[in-house]
């Protein structure tokens, strides 16, 4: 993700159009409508009422049409889809509005006294000045409005300087007002541009920070999932789905500490598949893998209590960790497992003790002392397992600690 430091020109242009229409559709129309009402009051005694009403209605219709156009353009988002077309249509609307005021002034010079003309000119100045604050989001729009309203008045007055004594002065003054408004409008316009660019930058930064936060949250979730998967890969035997030797060591340490604190018992069963090498040599390693998987399922069925753990210690050796189980309970579990294995009737033609797969089991049950380590318990269980093998296999041996 690359943070863009400045607003692109096309986005700035669209933002200017949007801001102009948001503010102009009400404020500009309102300012011009007030000017129309003030003009009617000003000209009431000097112009025929019917003509004055026709003029006012025509101007109001034009202003309402402009406002409706801006509203529709905002709803249809023309400033984004067809910005250049919307731009020129707005300029045409500004030019028409300015031309209405300049032509009305020129016509008024033939109808009303000179003092009323001057008041009317000040009224036009006021309308333009009020409009300036909301139309300078787009400088060209204000310039078109300014020059179509005041520029014709200025040059008409200077061109007809002999008709009224103040015409030349009015023309020069109007040109001066145009120059001042141009300078002021340029500064205000730059402020508008900077404000639009700053708002865009803040919105872009906020949006990109939001996207970055979402991306980081998603990445963290992926990392946690990957970490969990790596933990599973490190702790789970791929073939049987049981815990591996690492799990055995970890669980034994935790259960020894727990039994030590509570004064409870802890039992361990270590078992080995009898003559498993002969089975692999005869039936192949894939068949041997299937046997280990079926034994893993049987051991999980034999351990029903919460907290009991079944793990593959290595090769064909497995370990059952039975927290809280004493000697008799552990021996019952070993006996149940022996029955489950025999009932499975997995054919083993090379076994010297049975035509089916059998297991030898070494059982240990203790109350852990302060010096007992997991490795010590594993050694005792391993010794018990070898005793079961030495006794003829398919046997259960119990070892004293």
Helix (H) or strand (E) holding 270: strand 266-273
Q: Is 316 a catalytic residue?
A: yes
* Interatomic CA distance for residues 188 and 134, integer angstroms: 10
Tokens of 229: 């998967």
* Interatomic CA distance for residues 198 and 200, integer angstroms: 5
Q: Is 398 left (phi over 0), alpha (psi -120 to 50) or beta?
A: beta
Residue with tokens 């520029």: 151
* Interatomic CA distance for residues 336 and 308, integer angstroms: 15
* Interatomic CA distance for residues 227 and 97, integer angstroms: 69
Cβ-proximal residues to 344 (8 Å cutoff; 6+ apart), any chain: 294, 298, 356, 357
* Interatomic CA distance for residues 116 and 109, integer angstroms: 9
* Interatomic CA distance for residues 330 and 338, integer angstroms: 12
Q: Which of 255, 265, 308, 316 is catalytic?
A: 316
* Interatomic CA distance for residues 126 and 185, integer angstroms: 15
Strand-by-strand arrangement of the 396-399 sheet: 309-314, 317-323, 266-273, 359-366, 396-399
* Interatomic CA distance for residues 284 and 278, integer angstroms: 9
Burial of residue 151 (number of CB atoms within 10 Å: 0-12, 13-18, 19+):
middle
Cβ-proximal residues to 385 (8 Å cutoff; 6+ apart), any chain: 270, 271, 272, 317, 360, 361, 362, 397
Tokens of 376: 């010590």
* Interatomic CA distance for residues 228 and 235, integer angstroms: 10
* Interatomic CA distance for residues 289 and 236, integer angstroms: 16
Q: Active-site residue numbers?
A: 316
């Amino acid at each position: 993700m690359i943070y863009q430091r400045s607003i692109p020109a096309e986005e700035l242009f669209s933002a200017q159009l949007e801001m102009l229409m948001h503010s102009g559709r009400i404020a500009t129309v309102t300012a011009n409508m007030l000017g129309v009402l003030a003009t009617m009051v000003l000209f009431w005694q000097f112009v025929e009422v019917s003509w004055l009403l026709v003029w006012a209605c025509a101007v109001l219709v034009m202003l309402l049409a402009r406002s409706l156009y801006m509203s529709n353009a905002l709803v249809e988002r023309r400033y984004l889809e067809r910005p250049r077309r919307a731009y020129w249509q707005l300029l045409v609307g500004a030019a028409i509005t300015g031309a209405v005021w300049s032509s009305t002034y020129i016509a008024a010079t033939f109808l009303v006294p000179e003092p009323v003309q001057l008041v009317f000119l000040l009224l036009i100045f006021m309308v333009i000045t009020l409009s300036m604050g909301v139309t300078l989001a787009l400088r060209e729009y204000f310039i078109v409005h300014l020059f179509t309203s005041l520029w014709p008045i200025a040059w008409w007055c200077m061109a007809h300087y002999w008709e009224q004594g103040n015409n030349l002065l009015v023309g020069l003054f109007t040109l001066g007002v145009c120059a001042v408004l141009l300078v002021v409008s340029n500064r205000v316009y730059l402020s508008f541009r900077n404000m639009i660019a700053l708002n865009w930058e803040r919105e872009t930064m906020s949006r990109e920070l939001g996207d970055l936060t979402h991306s980081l949250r998603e990445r963290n979730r992926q990392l946690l999932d990957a970490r969990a998967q790596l933990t599973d890969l490190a702790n789970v035997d791929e073939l049987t789905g049981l815990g591996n030797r690492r799990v055995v060591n970890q669980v034994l340490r935790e259960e020894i500490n727990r039994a030590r604190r509570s004064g409870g018992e802890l039992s361990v069963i270590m078992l080995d598949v009898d003559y498993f090498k002969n089975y692999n040599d005869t039936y192949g390693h894939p068949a041997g893998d299937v046997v280990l998987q079926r034994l893993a399922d049987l051991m999980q069925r034999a351990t029903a209590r919460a907290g009991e753990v079944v793990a593959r210690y290595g090769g064909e050796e497995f370990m059952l960790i039975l927290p809280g189980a004493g000697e008799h309970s552990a021996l019952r579990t070993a006996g149940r497992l022996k029955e489950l294995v025999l009932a499975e009737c997995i054919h083993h033609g090379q076994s010297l003790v049975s035509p089916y797969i059998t297991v030898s089991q070494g059982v240990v049950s203790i109350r852990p002392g302060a010096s007992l380590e997991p490795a010590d318990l594993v050694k005792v269980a391993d010794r018990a397992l070898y005793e079961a093998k030495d006794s003829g296999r398919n046997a259960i041996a119990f070892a004293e600690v």
